[in-house]
């Protein structure tokens, strides 16, 4: 994939996340730079629904813009670099505030897969509370110290919740993190509905492992084509 | 109905199920082959919202493509053949993951008609759990052995739930299974709302029987015209 | 208003109720015939979203089409005639299955105004259960006997619920019944949300009376203009 | 900003609030007159979704139209003048009936920020009940006496709820009150979801203060661009 194609896919990912209600005017998605693995690509500070290719900036791992050209970066870009730094397997990161996910972050209710499509969110999702180490802040992860602690809370998992704020989703490809972001939201919705009906049977650890070991890119691809159509973006197969 | 018309109706059914939120990028609908009752028609592996006539493939009862022509089939196509095999009355099958239905599959809460339009889902809906016989799997019904057990759980009923996965809806026509899929979703929504308000009066067995014995194709037809319009598909009356 | 204008408004009412989610492919709205008060105007059996002026038929009070011209009437048209017969003040009737309203019909939970815009639904809404007098039926009101009992349950009120089925809304004008249908749905939604939070303070009888005594056609008019726009219909002021 | 630009922004605000579901056919938003701080600008009585520049009227603080030119004002315009009168810091006021907010007004459940984006609604939101001083009314604030009491209940806060009616949101700019109106609605949604899951951790007083002290116009600006796009309105940066 060329850099231009990568940027184009990143724009599409922003539009998809907006269309599917995972992000509103806030939240962001990045990819590791295809040629410079110590850098990442991320839009300037703009609502995901409005982002164009020219908005995409290049950042070094500590969040410095390589060539800002007058563009204002997201104040929370540090999240992305901190995750790429400690997770060489990660090629893409989403930070979002899905309204289905936040209730779990402020209640401590367990969020865990109830459906096979949602297995990629992991069996147990931790919640990071910025107040524990940093006290009363505006909750934004606006420096590397906070971002590193958040990345540590994520650990080797695909998802970490942020109390009163949102979550981070990290994975091996842009399509995977978009997929897991959307199905994280769905799993949260399903759990809230099921919770009102009675005790929930979650997927077993063995089932989660079986889904992950048998899932290939064709699953992400099928969803991606459909989400592109809904978001009004051209679809380019990446089989 | 010619084979071409049948294929066209199948495309419409996919678009309707996507438009009404019954399927997302996954789930599928088939019809028994109009001329070869031991075969069925089903799209290649693609999101229902994107399906075109050229995507529709022909399969033998055991899930083998008659002429794949490079098209990749759904891994869960076996569900369809297994149901057609044991249910000669069935002309169409939907497998879907409606987010309203799944909570019932993971809680054991009773799902039963609360409204006359929903009587076609049957008085009691069983839940099949793949783990009981097959242990920890990815929950996908990717072979005939699983599909036959699922079809046996369906029995003579119109609907069976699949724990942590979704459901199967089987019926005498494409319009009937689409209708029952959409009203299964509505009934699940209605029950979740009613459950929070107090004890529910379900339809009686006699009422369900009365609805089924008096319902004609004009009911399906009226809804089909409206769903075609919403899905941006031409409507062809089949009175 | 000419007969043509009345028919045009009736088409608009159907489209509005569909757009606002009060009706799906089923449910219907009628007006008393402007020149023949013993007759009423109602579409042929068609989904509200699809109705055109040519679909509107004229019926006598007992549900006989004056000139069917090959058009199939709704099987439940008797509801309309029965209400017009005993309620000379009523100029328009809606029968609908709003998914927010049905949960109240199957649980016996009280449905009563919690907000000033919803006062028009009346302080206490009765529920009619077809099974009490007619036993196990398909729940459809397909004859005058059932319709008369339903109209008696409505009495002098604006709304009656039908157990496991839907409701009837009757009022002094087409705009009023559409308004009260939409705000009945909203009130049901509000009550379900509030019920989960704690004990509800309903409007007092005095407040309901005050809303009704001060509400003029300008209230219906303001909403009607907006709903016409959303439904893609031209707006004609009727001050 | 010229008067024409201010009017244009006010039209946009109306469309945004309608598009985001904060207002339906009712509710209104005003701005203090840019050149005459004792006056305010507010549309004639019309649904927010339909408002054009020519609908915007000028009012004196006591609610008298400066030049009605045949336009009928909102009966509740007094709310706006009463707030501007006692709150020199306030440049814009919204009165709305968000269906997420009303349940809190009729149950007394605490409404308080659970997420950083919602901190602007204030730590504690009072509820004003018109019945306490004015008895059984139609709940509308149609005179200065009621409006002054409501403004007193608001005090120095950004939001006050109105029992069985809606709320008032006041702030230092049009973009701020639109932002806080939309995030008030989101916070109410989040709280209702979280309430069903368990005990809620609200933002601390220190966190709310930290959000407010660090939030700049770029936050409102980012959301405004996105909301303009969704509402089909041109976006004009006001950095």
Average pLDDT over residues B24-34: 97
Helix (H) or strand (E) holding D131: helix D130-134
Q: Which residues of B touch C (CB under 8 A)?
A: 113-117, 119, 186, 189-190, 193-194, 196-207, 209-211, 213-215, 218, 222-223, 225-227, 229-230
Residue tagged 């197969």 (tokens): A237
Catalytic member of D58, D76, D176, D207:
D76
Touching chains, D (3+ CB pairs < 8 A) = A, C
pLDDT for residue A238: 84
* Shortest CA gap D215–chain C (Å): 31
- Torsion-angle region of D41 (φ positive above 0: left; ψ -120 to 50: alpha; else: beta): beta
Cα–Cα distance for residue pair B162/B97, rounded to 1 Å: 9
Q: Is residue C239 predicted with pLDDT exceeding 70?
A: no
pLDDT for residue C1: 85
Side-chain half-sphere of B41: how many Cα atoms within 13 Å? 24
Average pLDDT over residues B207-228: 96
Q: Is residue D234 predicted with pLDDT exceeding 80?
A: yes
Cα–Cα distance for residue pair C36/B11, rounded to 1 Å: 47
Which of D217, D143, D129 lies closest to D173, judged by CA? D217
Distance of CA B151 to the CA centre of its chain: 13
Average pLDDT over residues B171-191: 98
Report pLDDT digits (tens) over A70-116.
999 999 999 999 999 999 999 999 999 999 999 999 998 999 999 99
Residue tagged 């459906």 (tokens): A115
Touching chains, B (3+ CB pairs < 8 A) = A, C
Sheet holding C56-60, edge to edge: C56-60, C39-43, C28-32, C92-96, C166-171, C159-162, C127-128
Residues for chain D: how many in total?
A: 239
Which of D228, D187, D152, D162 lies closest to D26, judged by CA? D162
pLDDT for residue D1: 85
A100 contacts on D by Cβ (under 8 Å): 193
Sign of the alpha-carbon dihedral angle for A147, A148, A153, A158: positive
Average pLDDT over residues D56-79: 98
Side-chain half-sphere of D58: how many Cα atoms within 13 Å? 13
Candidates C194, C207, C223; nearest CB to D136: C207
C178 contacts on D by Cβ (under 8 Å): none
Coil/strand/helix, residue B132: helix
Which of B168, B130, B164, B126 lies closest to B149, judged by CA? B130
D46 contacts on C by Cβ (under 8 Å): 222, 225
Cα–Cα distance for residue pair C150/B233, rounded to 1 Å: 38
pLDDT band at D6 (very low <50, low <70, confident <90, very high): very high
pLDDT for residue D113: 98
Sign of the alpha-carbon dihedral angle for A50, A54, A59, A64: negative
CB D193 within 8 A of CB A103: yes
- Virtual torsion, Cα C16, C22, C25, C27, nearest 10 deg: -100
Tell me the two tokens of residue B61: 């009862």
Neighbours of A211 (CB within 10 A): 23
Cα–Cα distance for residue pair B233/A120, rounded to 1 Å: 35
Report pLDDT digits (tens) over D90-124.
999 999 999 999 999 999 899 999 999 999 999 99
D200 contacts on A by Cβ (under 8 Å): 106-107
Tens-digit pLDDT profile for chain A (239 aa)? Answer: 899 999 999 999 999 999 999 999 999 999 999 999 999 999 999 999 999 999 999 999 999 999 999 999 999 999 999 999 999 999 999 999 999 999 999 998 999 999 999 999 999 999 999 999 999 999 999 999 999 999 999 999 999 999 999 999 999 999 999 999 999 999 999 999 999 999 999 999 999 999 999 998 999 999 999 999 999 999 999 86
Report pLDDT digits (tens) over C150-190.
999 999 999 999 999 999 999 999 999 999 999 999 999 99
Q: Is residue B1 predicted with pLDDT exceeding 90?
A: no
Which of D226, D120, D117 lies closest to A140, judged by CA? D117
- Virtual torsion, Cα C166, C168, C173, C177, nearest 10 deg: -30
pLDDT band at C205 (very low <50, low <70, confident <90, very high): very high
B139 contacts on A by Cβ (under 8 Å): 116, 203, 207, 210-211
Instruction: Supply the DSSP string of B61-81, one letter for each residue.
Output: TTS-BS--TTPPBPTTTHHHH
Touching chains, C (3+ CB pairs < 8 A) = B, D
pLDDT for residue B114: 98
Strand C28-32, strand C39-43: pairing: antiparallel
Tell me the two tokens of residue C185: 């749905």
Catalytic, B76? Answer: yes
* Shortest CA gap D188–chain C (Å): 10
Cα–Cα distance for residue pair B77/D237, rounded to 1 Å: 53
Cα–Cα distance for residue pair B61/B202, rounded to 1 Å: 37
CB A23 within 8 A of CB A97: yes
Report pLDDT digits (tens) over B117-147.
999 999 999 999 999 999 999 999 999 999 9
Contact D194 A107 (CB under 8 A): yes
Coil/strand/helix, residue C173: coil
Packing angle of the helix pair B174-197, B3-19 (nearest 10 deg): 20
Nearest CA in chain A to D188: A99
Nearest CA in chain A to D208: A138
Phi, psi of C61 (to 5 degrees): -60, -25
Which among A18, A47, A131, A231 is the top mutation candidate for probing chain D, defined by the most D β-carbons within 10 Å of its own β-carbon? A47
Contact B165 A210 (CB under 8 A): no
* Shortest CA gap A19–chain D (Å): 11
Q: Which residues of D touch C (CB under 8 A)?
A: 18, 24-26, 45-47, 49-50, 72, 97, 99-100, 102-104, 106-109, 131, 135-140, 163-166, 192, 195-196
Candidates B18, B100, B137; nearest CB to A207: B137
pLDDT band at C216 (very low <50, low <70, confident <90, very high): confident
Which of B77, B44, B75 lies closest to B60, judged by CA? B77
D209 contacts on A by Cβ (under 8 Å): 136
Cα–Cα distance for residue pair B110/B122, rounded to 1 Å: 12
Sheet holding A39-43, edge to edge: A56-60, A39-43, A28-32, A92-96, A166-171, A159-162, A127-128
Rg (CA), chain A: 17
B25 contacts on A by Cβ (under 8 Å): 222-223, 225-227
Cα–Cα distance for residue pair B21/C138, rounded to 1 Å: 27
Cα–Cα distance for residue pair C157/C153, rounded to 1 Å: 9
The whole-chain average pLDDT of chain B stands at 97
Q: How many CB contacts within 8 angstroms connect chain A with chain D? A: 103
Look at C48 and C216; give whichever has higher pLDDT. Answer: C48
Catalytic member of B9, B20, B52, B76:
B76
Neighbours of A239 (CB within 10 A): 7
Q: Tell me, what DSSP letter sits at residue D230?
A: H
Average pLDDT over residues C21-46: 98
Which of C106, A74, C131 lies closest to D219, judged by CA? A74
Candidates A193, A214, A230; nearest CB to B103: A193
Residues for chain C: how many in total?
A: 239
Candidates B197, B211, B223; nearest CB to C47: B223
The whole-chain average pLDDT of chain C stands at 97
Report pLDDT digits (tens) over C69-100.
999 999 999 999 999 999 999 999 999 999 99
pLDDT band at B216 (very low <50, low <70, confident <90, very high): confident
* Shortest CA gap D116–chain A (Å): 6
Q: How many CB contacts within 8 angstroms connect chain B with chain C? A: 103
* Shortest CA gap A148–chain B (Å): 34
Which of A133, A180, A188 lies closest to A159, judged by CA? A180
Which among C201, C216, C231 is the top mutation candidate for probing chain D, defined by the most D β-carbons within 10 Å of its own β-carbon? C201
Nearest CA in chain B to C109: B197
pLDDT band at B239 (very low <50, low <70, confident <90, very high): low
Sign of the alpha-carbon dihedral angle for D58, D63, D66, D71: positive
CB C80 within 8 A of CB C61: no
Distance of CA B94 to the CA centre of its chain: 2
Cα–Cα distance for residue pair B14/C161, rounded to 1 Å: 35
Instruction: Supply the DSSP string of chain A, one letter for each residue.
Output: --HHHHHHHHHHHHHHHHHTTS-SSS-EEEEE-SS-TTEEEEEBSS-GGG--GGGEEEEETTS-BS--TTPPBPTTTHHHHHHHHH-TT--EEEEE--TTTHHHHTT-------SGGGGGG-S---EE-HHHHH-S--S---SHHHHHHHHHHHTTSSEEEETTTEEEEEESSHHHHHHHHHHHHHHHHHHHHHHHHS---PPPHHHHHHHHHH--HHHHHHHHHHHHHHHT-------
Contact C197 D195 (CB under 8 A): yes
pTM of the model: 0.98
pLDDT for residue B238: 83
pLDDT for residue A239: 66
Cα–Cα distance for residue pair A75/C12, rounded to 1 Å: 49
Query: What percent of chain B lies above the pLDDT cut of 70?
Result: 100
* Shortest CA gap A115–chain B (Å): 4
Catalytic member of C58, C76, C156, C207:
C76
CB C83 within 8 A of CB C103: no
Q: Which residues are CB-neighbours of A105 under 8 A, at least 6 positions away?
A: A127, A161, A162, A163, A164, A165, A166, A167
Which among A19, A22, A24 is the top mutation candidate for probing chain D, defined by the most D β-carbons within 10 Å of its own β-carbon? A24
Helix (H) or strand (E) holding D160: strand D159-162
* Shortest CA gap B116–chain A (Å): 22
Environment class of residue A137 by beta-carbon count within 10 Å: exposed (0-12), middle (13-18) or buried (19+)?
Answer: middle
C186 contacts on D by Cβ (under 8 Å): 99
b vs e for B61-82, b when ≥16 Cβ sit within 10 Å of the residue's Cβ? bebebeeeeeeebbbbbbbbbb
Candidates C46, C99, C163; nearest CB to B190: C99
Contact C49 B229 (CB under 8 A): yes
pLDDT for residue D239: 65
Q: Tell me, what DSSP letter sits at residue B114?
A: S
pLDDT for residue A180: 98
């Amino acid at each position: 994939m060329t850099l231009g194609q990568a940027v184009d896919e990143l724009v599409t990912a922003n539009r998809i996340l907006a269309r599917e209600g995972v992000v509103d005017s806030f939240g962001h998605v990045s990819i590791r730079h295809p040629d410079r693995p110590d850098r990442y690509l991320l839009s300037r500070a703009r609502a995901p629904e409005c982002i164009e290719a020219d908005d995409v900036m290049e950042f070094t791992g500590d969040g410095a813009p390589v060539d800002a050209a007058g563009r204002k970066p997201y104040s929370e870009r540090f999240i992305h670099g901190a995750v790429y730094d400690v997770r060489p397997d990660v090629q893409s990161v989403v930070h979002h505030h899905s309204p289905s996910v936040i209730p779990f972050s402020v209640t401590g209710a367990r969020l865990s897969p109830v459906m096979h499509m949602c297995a990629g969110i992991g069996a147990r999702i931790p919640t990071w509370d910025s107040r524990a180490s940093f006290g009363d802040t505006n909750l934004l992860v606006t420096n590397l110290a906070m971002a590193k602690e958040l990345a540590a809370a994520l650990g080797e998992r695909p998802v970490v919740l942020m109390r009163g704020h949102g979550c981070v989703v990290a994975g091996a490809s842009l399509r995977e993190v978009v997929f897991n972001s959307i199905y994280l939201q769905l799993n949260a919705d399903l759990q809230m509905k099921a919770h009102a009906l009675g005790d929930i049977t979650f997927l077993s650890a063995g089932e989660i492992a079986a889904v992950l070991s048998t899932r290939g890119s064709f699953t992400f691809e099928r969803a991606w084509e459909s989400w592109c159509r809904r978001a009004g973006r051209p679809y380019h197969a990446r089989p």
